[in-house]
Structure 1
């Protein structure tokens, strides 16, 4: 765990170092969205400043200065410069734009976007919809963010510039975001912001993985001691860098040593953990080589694709069936009209034959023929005039019928409303609770206008008596009456729309009468084609279902084999753990026994040494006493 913390610190240090040589590999990224700079292993999401804010500060809080006091030019000025970077993404490629639209739709759908989402809306959204999507995505980074209500066209480019969007989104383009020449740039900005959100989420997940490094919820890496060490290291390295040095090995070694002391790093434990990691990595590689490829996952992907194809085929088949039903209905209607037209034509032919036969049997003089022709012309004029008046009368009749149908429908709605309210009030039928033996039911088609008025008067008199008892219910019924009036108006508008549609359908029927023969032939040909396509689709559907079932059975078998292998490996691992635990227990027992034996041997040795020392002291005392006696005897002899 300490090693992971140090590696994160090292990565954050390397990300802060300025680049002296431009990376050539970055220019090859064509189909990727540029990412923003991150420091200290976390996404930098500052609050969006105002539009008029133009001051820039350095890493240490002071404004950047340049002049003779600077020993060398800093290469880090490229991050805050105003140089425009060319966007390498193919934003004018229709396939790339469609791919970005699909990714945007998936992201908004997965995160629960509150607005309405559709492919048509994302093809050319309005400025209001773009601002809503931008605000929703930005809130994934900053949940407290709120979009201002005024000057949105200026705030969005300023916010993108504040979070270091590498390309320019002009203010003019915000007034017409859905235009074909401005929507790809705005879409690219949204995709870049989505990439930042995903990076931010991944970094938060990494912090959760290493959240148990510190005790009692005290994060040392963000504490005062770590910040002091890091600032000292950064200041020293940067001062040497400004003096012309390019290597900082001494500073790196000193910084790592201080970090190890700060985090109490046990190098022996790190080495053992690294050795264990290498063993486990080799074991994982061996298991991966044995399992070769994950065929279960490929089969699952194939199953998902086949299920998607199956759904598409089913939807296509249902659309074909509906289209076929519509065509059959139209064909039946046309066949009925054709039969009526043919019958009328036959009657006209029969009448014409009779007239021709009558003409052949009669003999006319030229005066009779001239008179007949004159009468014929007069009759034709009369027929034309009468046919015109007949058409006008039919049109007037049709309009009157429509008006009568509307009035009738309104009356029926009113009567239905009245009956509904009367049933709710328990006034219908005559034996109801609130009817009091009176018949409140209205039968408009069984009585005349006079009896209707009389019935209405009687009903009103009876209702006035009931109103005094049900004033509270009357207010509730008045509210319901308002809602029903609105629905009645809606129904009337729908009737007008349907009447217009009916006129259009009559015009279409007239056109279809002119092209009946060609339509019938085309219909027969299309029916044959649709029948062939339906048979082909059904055969393909059966083949796909067979393949899906076979692949699913094989995938299930492979899953069972993998589960068996997993249980076997788990048993082996548990057995190895048990053996290691037993070995450690035996080693600890042996060490404890050896320690007890060593302590007992030391106690015996100490007692033996004490005995030897006491015996030696006694012998030395007796020897000294003897020498004293000899000296005394010698002194007596000399005297």
Structure 2
């Protein structure tokens, strides 16, 4: 119908209705960012847009395009910095990056921009984050700023490689760090990386200052001057901006019904893509939480291993208790061996008394004088008193030994009951941590993500002008013939969109339930972990207490041995005095004196041998206990 008039250079652009433009044309940044991507993944669109610009410049059927392109080219040719930029060497960075004052300024600018433009990540952004950021924080900031400059950028699996490539495409004016340096940013490299982020912030802040794009009273020369006075980032971006304005004006000449159809499809798919992006972000967050749960499960496994070690320690303690009980039985045997020796001493004392009475009777029968008898009686009484003293000391020794034995029995009984309680408590904990319950800590099975959709946007012409003109005529006729079919197709698309939205809502509810389940499981695991930690600490404290009690018992046993040794020394001393007294009293009758001395020596050897054997056995038991405790 009016295709020739619409595509000719005499088309009255001032008659275009701005109210029928797509909603994106009302935003400053959308004219450049929402259609053509500067990223490597959008290289085909970039080349095709430049080819379209070159084709439009070479056609004389659009006078206003020819004049604007020539004017723009002529003005850019005067800018030697832009034309020679690729051929020049990378200049030195004049910014004082190592200055603390300049670093503080960069941090404030970056923080203000990110906070004002809705930067989001797993944890909230704080000024302290820019002092010592993590590698994940740095990658999140790069990704956000690249999307601020070009929302159509698509990232690969290696975002460090994407950062390097995108900085080259955006013509970063200074030296770009290598991929290896970007993959591990340390404290020394952080000021350099922060300067790149600051440059991206400054670049992203320039885009909202681009002139408003309207087609009412379209003034090409005014638009070119405005762009050159406040150009976008690079010459490439400026050319793309101009090319897009021209091709958008041509596309606007299509019938409003066709544009509205494309706008409806575009908005529908934009809303779907936004919902899918949010869902993908939530799924990524859940994956991070699942990784944290796996770490918690690993900690629980380590705790189980430590409990196994405690179980082996418990078995060793039980073996030690058996050894202690055996030592107690041996101590009883030693005491039982000692009792006959004490009884033998008492019998020998009674025999001495009998011999003394017999000697007194013999002396009286021989007619010994009364003075001599009194003297002998006094000597005998003295001997009897000494014997009584020795007998009393023996009883005292026996009493002390029995008391010490009872004390040892009581202490070891308490020790045995404490260890049994410790054993029961530890076994209860081990039963609670039974590996059979490990299914509770198994990895969670995430819901499948909804099927992804390819981005569909209105297609810009990417071919030569002749093909472009013919295709527009064909498209106009096709739109006029199939408008009814298109409306039905849009109804079907709307139905599919509704189904997709319902599916997204269902998936969102499933994800919320999964988040609640994960939080509940985390709280329960944390409570169990804290409980097991407290019980382990109590068990460790009790074990140390038992060890201290055992050491105390060993010390008491050593003291008992020392007391027995001292008693032995006293007995030996008394026997020596007794022998001397016998020798003094019967020095005139050497037969009686020799008999008493020989008998006393044999008795002394018997007692010393018994005490020596008992002390050796007790010392061996103490040494064995100390080795078992590792003292």
Same-fold call, TM cutoff 0.5: no
Bigger helix fraction: 2
> TM-score if structure 2 supplies the norm length?
0.30
Larger Rg: 2
Higher relative contact order (CA 8 A, sep 6+): 2
